[in-house]
Amino acid sequence: MNQFKETVAGMGIGFATLLFSVPLVLWIMAMAYSYEFTYFWKQFVTYSVYTSKYLSLGCIPNLFWFYFFLNRERWAVARGVIFSVLLLVPYAIYVNFL
């Protein structure tokens, strides 16, 4: 039962990181291309092709958490982080072909 709780905690960490990193990615892109943040946010919300690309970029910071917990031998938490990314894959594929 303890492993289940740790896996769910890892999934929560993965989803929270995604919720934080997608706007951060959009902000970095806005700064790099000298556009307004709202331009990239509108692309993310409106156009499905961009949604899947920005979600994929937003998943990259989860690699930090995965290796962080892996090096501390917290296998269940690292598994939860990976599960959170794997749960996003079908959604990204669905949005891409919409």
- CA–CA gap between residue 54 and residue 71 (Å, rounded): 28
Q: Which amino acid is at 11?
A: M
Confidence of residue 95 (pLDDT cuts 50, 70, 90): confident
Over the stretch 41-67, which tens digit does the pLDDT of each residue have? 999 999 888 998 999 999 999 999 999
Per-residue model confidence (pLDDT) at position 1: 64
> What separation in angstroms does the CA of 32 have from each of 27, 36, 37, 43, 85?
9, 10, 11, 16, 26
Structure pTM? Answer: 0.86
Chain center to CA of 65: 11
User: Would you say the C-alpha torsion 82, 59, 53, 21 has a positive or negative sign?
Assistant: positive
Confidence of residue 18 (pLDDT cuts 50, 70, 90): very high
The string of DSSP codes covering 44-81 is HHH-HHHHHHHHHHHTTTHHHHHHHHHHTT-HHHHHHH
